[in-house]
Structure formats: structure tokens, C-alpha cells
Amino acid sequence: MPRVGIYLPIAEMSVNVFVLLAMGGAVGFLSGMFGVGGGFLITPLLIFYNIPPAIAVATGANQVIASSFSGALVHFKRKTLDVKLGTVLLAGGIVGASLGAMAFAYLRRLGQLDLIVSLLYVLFLGVVGGLMLLESVRALRRARSGQTVSLRKPGQHNWIHRLPLKMRFRASKLFVSVIPILVLGAFIGFLASIMGVGGGFIMVPALIYLLKVPTNVVIGTSLFQIIFVAAFTTIIHSTANQTVDVVLAFLLMVGGVAGAQYGARVGQRLRGEQLRALLALLVLAVALRLAFDLFVRPASVYSLSMGGV
């Protein structure tokens, strides 16, 4: 790969332009293929590339806006998103993201930010990847034996549907309490600002399995609210921590939007269960790689960081 260096003004280091474009492109390709934002891949990749975790997280959030916006436009046009549901999720998301940013600054002062970021990634990627793999393997088996299944089972109610403060969401054909929606939004907003992700990889299964939102509006709604949560997170991080590197984010976005188009084309040729199984394996691989760093003795047990107490 040719070495064309570019100096990142906020990260204060020189990096290879092509590595970043390729990284953005590869993640964009996968996100286009699987219909996910890709933030959960970008941030760990940046950390593997020696970008300080604080900057990787904040810049990851900035990058997520571009890919989510690009994706949400499609759904907006096809009207496959529920603006009302998205707005309620967003209200919770803003609260969660604010709390997340506070926790972020506190952990950074404590010197435990890197650890918590890695742990959260290992935990969530491990659980989500594991569940997805199980589910898709089951679906693949069923497909082989000729059964058809639908994820949504109308009429089947769980405890969530017994909560008060019900609201009607026409586009999703739902009549549910706003409490679980606000809590879900806040929880994902919190993770988004600590992990630098959009949270689609948690949001999508949560909307499908917990709230029983129809699958056709899930991705659009998730992307819609991610745009705003990621934008809010970016602004909070740049105000409180000055850790958003626009040069880095821009390179990733350019690679990302280009890669996404090719990924989407490949994705259309693969079957849903196969796609989910592949994505699950990918998610598990990233989780394992991060876990490896946590459990294997580092090259040096000492590290330096700038700043006072």
C-alpha cells in the first residue's frame, strides 16, 4: 500500500491516508451488505490502528452520522420509517447520551476509559454476535427443511405490553407504553456516547424482539434516530473533550459511503439467514480480538497519558 501520510490535527499523529480510506471502505462495504451503521467496527479498528480510544470513540460517532443519513434517506423515500417512534426513542437517546458523555469524561480522568470501552465492546459484540449466530443457524436449518417462519408473531404479548402510558404508532401498527421505548432509547444513547457507535446492532434486535416492531420499518427508524443521537454525541464530545477529529472522520466517511454501495449490491445476492450468519461471525471475531487484548499480557504494562490529575 503506498504511504501517503496525513497529519490528524486532533489525534496529533501522522497516519496513512490509504489505510483509513480502505478501513472506511471495508466497513462501508460490510454495512451496506448487512444494513448496519458500522460504528461498532470502525471504533475497534481505529483503536487497533493506535488512534487513542477517546478520539476513536468521538470520531466514530461523527462518522456514523454520514452512513446513517445516507441510509435513512432511502427509507425516508420508501416511507419505511416510523418518525413518531423514532422521536420517542430519540428523546430517551438524548438523555442517555448526556449521561454517557459524563461517564466518559469521568472514566477518562480515572484512566479506566480504555478498559470500559473494550469491556463493553467484548460484552455487547459477544452477546449480540452469539445470539445472531444461534438464530441464523436455526433459520438456515429450518430453511433447509422447508419451513417458513416470520419474526413477528402478532397477538403474542409480553410484560412490556402491560405497562401504562400507552401511545399509538401508526406506521409500526403498535399500541404500546412509551416507558420501554424511552428506556431503550436512553440505554442505547448511553452506549452510543461511550462506545462511539450508532447502536443499530442492539436497536434492531430490541425493536424486533422486545417491542415487536414490524421488520420493514425497523432499520429505517433505527437509522433515523441514530442520526440525531450520533450528532448529539459528536457535539457533546467536541464541546466537553475536544476529541472529534474531522480529518479522520472525513476520510472514513468517504471510504464508507463508497464502500456501502458495493456492499449493498453484494448483499442483495445473498440470502437473509446467510447474511445474518456472516455478520454474526464478523461481530464475534471483533469481540474475540478485543478480548484477546484484554487477557494477553501487553507488550508494556506501563502507559503514559497527558494531562493533570
User: Between 164 and 203, how does the x/- string for binding to other proteins read (CB under 8 A)?
Assistant: ----------------------------------------
d(CA 13, CA 43): 17
Could you tell me if 56 and 43 are in contact, meaning their C-beta atoms sit under 8 angstroms apart? Answer: yes
| Candidate ranges 130-138, 175-183, 184-192, 243-251; the one touching other proteins (CB under 8 A) | 243-251
Q: How does strand 5-8 pair with strand 13-16? A: antiparallel
d(CA 24, CA 75): 22
| Candidate ranges 34-42, 137-145, 192-200, 250-258; the one touching other proteins (CB under 8 A) | 250-258
Among 31, 43, 67, 136, binds other proteins (CB under 8 A): 67
Query: How many amino acids of this chain bind other proteins (CB under 8 A)?
Result: 62
d(CA 241, CA 227): 20
Q: Which three cell numbers stand for residue 133?
A: 449466530
What residues between 75 and 104 interact with other proteins by CB under 8 A? 77
Q: How does strand 166-169 pair with strand 5-8? A: unpaired
Q: Is 300 near other proteins (CB under 8 A)?
A: yes
Q: Is 149 near other proteins (CB under 8 A)?
A: no
Q: Which three cell numbers stand for residue 199?
A: 447502536
Angle at 10 between CA 37 and CA 71, to 5 degrees: 15
| Candidate ranges 145-153, 194-202, 241-249, 278-286; the one touching other proteins (CB under 8 A) | 241-249
| Alpha carbon distances (Å) from 109 to 2, 57, 59, 309 | 38, 16, 19, 7
Among 238, 273, 279, 280, binds other proteins (CB under 8 A): 238
Binding site for other proteins (CB under 8 A): 3-7, 9-10, 12-14, 62-63, 65-70, 73-74, 77, 111-112, 114-115, 227, 231, 234-240, 242, 244, 246-247, 249-250, 253-254, 256-258, 260-261, 294-298, 300-309
